[in-house]
């Protein structure tokens, strides 16, 4: 398994507050991804990165931004959290364009 950690693992916040989730990897993988997983929807891609400072939008990017200033870290920011962003967030990394390894997830609740 890739060495992938996510922080925080659990967070409760209020509507309208900014939230930043962190993904850290020790595998020197080029590709990093942020997904959200909700009942009835499966895993949906929010944003991804194909290198330092190189990012692109996924299918559910509205309300989210990302940054990758170094290979090992990929940050996901909710500029102004809404209740619809209550979800489980998974980070994934990959050294090639296909195989992805997942972090343990962050459970976010927006009240």
Complex with other proteins: residue 56 or 79, whichever CB lies closer: 56
Binding mask 49-88 for other proteins (x = CB under 8 A): -x-----x-x------------------------------
Least distance to other proteins, CB of residue 42, Å: 4
What is the per-residue DSSP string for 27-57? Answer: S--SEEEEEEEETTTEEEEEEEEEETTEEEE
Complex with other proteins: residue 82 or 93, whichever CB lies closer: 93
Measured at the CA of 104, the angle between CA 42 and CA 22, to 5 degrees, comes to 100
Q: Is 24 left (phi over 0), alpha (psi -120 to 50) or beta?
A: beta
Least distance to other proteins, CB of residue 52, Å: 15
């Amino acid at each position: 398994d890739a060495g992938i950690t996510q922080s925080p693992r659990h967070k409760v916040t209020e509507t309208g507050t900014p939230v930043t989730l962190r993904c850290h990897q020790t595998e020197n993988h080029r590709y990093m991804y942020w997904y959200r997983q909700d009942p009835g929807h499966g895993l949906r891609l929010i944003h991804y990165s194909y290198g330092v400072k190189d990012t692109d939008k996924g299918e559910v990017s509205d309300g989210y931004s990302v940054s990758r200033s170094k290979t090992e870290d990929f940050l996901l920011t909710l500029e102004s959290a809404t209740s619809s962003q209550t979800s489980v967030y998974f980070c994934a990394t990959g050294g090639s364009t296909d195989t992805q390894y997942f972090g343990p997830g962050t459970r976010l609740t927006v009240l």
